[in-house]
Amino acid sequence: MKHSVLQTALAAIAIFGAGNMTASAAWEPVRPVEFIVPAGTGGGADQMARTIQGIVTKHSLMKQPMVVINKSGGAGGEGFLDVKGSGNNPHKIIITLSNLFTTPLATGIPFSWKDMTPVAMLALDEFVLWVNAEKPYATVKDYVDAVKQAPAGGMKMGGTGSKQEDQIITVALEKATGTKFTYIPYKGGGEVAVQLVGNHVDSTVNNPIEAVAQWRGGKLRPLCVFDGKQMAYDEVVADGKGWKDIPTCKSQGLDIEYLMLRGIFMSPKATKDQVEYYVELFKKVRATPEWQDFMKSGAFNTTFLTGAEYAKWVETEEKRHETLMKEAGFLATPGN
């Protein structure tokens, strides 16, 4: 009996000791975490960052506050260089979009995704071809016919930034249709949607989350999605239609596919424990009903990657963007 009690006591001490060792080895923030958005307010990245901030706060997923900071200067280069220069500061994370690749390729700024520490892919964002609902274009064919009939540059395409994903898709559209657009850059997807509602541009290739409110309000009309398959969400959004009812651009004769990263990186020289803390944090965020609702409202592809798998995906996308940018003539020239 005494032997049994002694064994139990020793086992308890061992477990307690192991727990203490784990607790002392693990890391968590000791001051507010800056959540950098390398884009303007109202766009897809900004909306996702602020949704995450709200979920973290509501469910008390962190002991320290999370503070969203927009650093959109230089096509997001301001935000990337800030994080690059914050080595050994685990209290700074950044949400990335395709400007992770396009900005250094287009501007030549001294930055690569390898200057930061990969944490997780949260989702992939779709691109949809949008027109004003007042326009007579009911199908992609109607729209393409109108573009072809207009004088070169007569049709205005609104998009976020210059030499970034929206303009890359615009160049692909020009090649697919043998036409020429006048591309008008804006600071963020929210502003792009407003400009289309006001008929200041003829079309946009905004993300679903950036234009869903205007679609629901009867102001905009989606024509096709730049993906290899239709979106999975069947809930009605507007006009008796859901995201799944939007045909792929490929099926409508526009052989163009483009998906955008919504991922998280942190500052250089992050430790394994620090990365793991944020991976676990985002797993908790993804498990909330608020996140599920956000994914549905924005018609996101919900792929989640971490570790080597995530880094490999990013590396492949960097090479693909270099090819796309080269074809579009968007690569920075030496000396510029």
Residues 166-190 pLDDT 10s? 999 999 999 999 999 999 999 888 8
Task: Using alpha carbons only, give the angle 330, 183, 151 rounded to the nearest 5 degrees.
Answer: 120
- pLDDT tens track for 266-317: 999 999 999 999 999 999 999 999 999 999 988 999 999 999 999 999 999 9
Residue 19, pLDDT score: 39
CA-closest candidate to residue 121, choices 316, 333, 332, 330: 316
- pLDDT tens track for 47-106: 999 999 999 999 999 999 999 999 999 989 999 999 999 999 999 999 999 899 999 999
* pTM > 0.85: yes or no: no
State the Cα–Cα distance between residues 174 and 181, nearest whole angstrom. Answer: 7
Confidence bin at 25 (pLDDT 50/70/90): very low
Task: Using alpha carbons only, give the angle 191, 194, 196 rounded to the nearest 5 degrees.
Answer: 115
What token pair was written down for 22?
């784990």
- pLDDT tens track for 225-254: 999 999 999 999 998 999 999 999 999 999
CA-closest candidate to residue 164, choices 5, 4, 321: 321
Residue 174, pLDDT score: 95
pLDDT at 13 over 80: no
State the Cα–Cα distance between residues 158 and 278, nearest whole angstrom. Answer: 35
